[in-house]
Structure 1
Amino acid sequence: MKKTILSIALVAVFGLTASASAPNEDEKKPVKVSESTVTWKGYKVTGEHNGSINLKSGFLEMKGKKLIGGEFVVDMTSLTCNDLEAGQGKEKLEGHLKSADFFGVDANPNSKLVFTSVKAMNENSYTATGDLTIKGITKPVTVVVSMFENKATATIKVDRTKYDIKYGSGSFFDDLGDKAIYDEFDLVVDLAL
């Protein structure tokens, strides 16, 4: 009887120890915000502009070494234009991009991307479908994500008109001539994990 009780006690202790030390396969890897960058590029008939936006928070969800999800928030109030210097219209362009004509950052200080599904393209690359929220409007987007060690890069093409950003769009206004601004802009996100 004593051997049976001792055997049950040992099985219980070792069983609990084994299950407590078993690794959790799903992991949320936080993004190192200060080491990560979000850059944008917008196009118009007569050229282009580029700049950056600060990442506010984010994580990638992993199952072992495989990407399965993620969520990111950017601070739209930090939007800057990098291709112009002070005195060349930099402040005017940044102010206009932050206005209601474009991103309306006073009413919508953050934008957000949440992955809803992720499919592996190969060992290091994924196609992620997600919900992108800009100006309080959420639409589905497709993102290509590449991962190497403690870094991830995501590229995305965004149609601004889907988020009620129609200023200067040839899709909505006639006779814009060389003042037309193309509907799509590019985002490149470099994440440090």
Structure 2
Amino acid sequence: MKNRIIKGGIAAVIVLTTVAFTNTKKEVNTEASEITWVGEKVTGSHNGTIELESGHLMMEDDKIVGGEFVMDMSTITVTDLSGENKGKLEGHLKSEDFFGVEKHPKAKLVITSAAAKGNGKYGIVGDLTIKEETHPITFDLKMDGNSASTSLTIDRSKYNVRYGSGSFFDNLGDKTIYDNFELDVKLKF
């Protein structure tokens, strides 16, 4: 009888421990989520969108502990132009000069750690892969119920996206395209 009680107690502790430390996967709603980009050059800027193919956050006790997001780079659109100019810029962004989407159709962000800062804000550390180049990235993410948002600044030159970069080419003058571009991300779960 005593053995049965002890074994039952041990089993209960194991079950409670397992439940207490179980991660849950919070899947992103790709249709309701939005990624917008802004790229600047000496003479102005352009903006557009990129679609999220998939994504999730790993949660433990309602806190972010990891995650992974995949962007479909073939969906890059330009929203500040129309007609022939829109088509030309979209084609150029998809070409080898920029993101080479035929060979590199996906970009991926893997969250490697997250630190709660209070009021739903997290300091995120992750690995961003674009054109098969992976580099660490840090940013803040704001969680609010079933939504999250962040803004990221990405140095394209680290990912072999060099077209028009003053870091690699001389005498570009007003044709220079700045290395940093911005992503504004709004996620729905």
User: TM-score, normalised on structure 1?
Assistant: 0.89
Q: Which has the larger radius of gyration?
A: 1
Offset at 1:116?
Answer: 1.2
2:46 maps to 1:43: no
Structure 1, 114-123 or 144-153: larger mean CA deviation:
114-123
SS in 2 for 1:32: coil
SS in 1 for 2:83: coil
Partners in 2 of 1:110 and 1:186 — Cα distance? 18
Paired residues for 1:170-181 under 5 Å: 170-181=166-177
Equivalent residue number for residue 149 of structure 1 = 145
**1:24-63 Cα distance to aligned partner (Å, 9 max, x none):** 5421101111111111110001111111111001001111
* Most deviating of 170-179 and 20-29: 20-29
Select 1:76's aligned residue among 73, 80, 91.
73
2:160 maps to 1:167: no
The superposition leaves residues 77-123 of structure 1 with CA deviations (integer Å, 9 ceiling, x where unpaired) of 01100111123x00000000000000000000000000111122223
Pairwise CA RMSD: 2.3
Structure 1 residue aligned with 2:124? 128
Report the residue type matching 1:150 in the other structure.
N
Q: How many angstroms apart in 2 are the aligned matches of 1:127 and 1:184?
A: 20
State the match for 1:61 in structure 2.
Answer: 58
2:31 is paired with a residue whose SS is helix
Of 86, 89, 100, which residue of structure 1 is paired with 2:96? 100
Q: Output the CA distance in 2 between the equivalents of 1:127 and 1:164.
A: 26
TM-score (norm. length: structure 2): 0.91
**Cα separation, 1, equivalents of 2:151 and 2:140:** 6
Aligned residue number for residue 185 of structure 1: 181
Query: Residue type matched to 1:71 in 2?
Result: E
SS where residue 33 of structure 1 aligns? coil
Determine helix, strand or coil for the equivalent of 2:103: coil
* Deviation of the 1:189 alpha carbon: 1.2
Q: Distance in 2 between matches of 1:32 and 1:140?
A: 25
Whole-angstrom CA distance in 2 between matches of 1:121 and 1:12: 40
Cα deviation 1:113-156 (Å, max 9, x = unaligned): 00111122223111111110000110111121000000001221
Q: What 5-or-longer segments of structure 2 have no aligned partner?
A: none
* Identity value in percent: 48
The aligned amino acid for 1:45 is: V
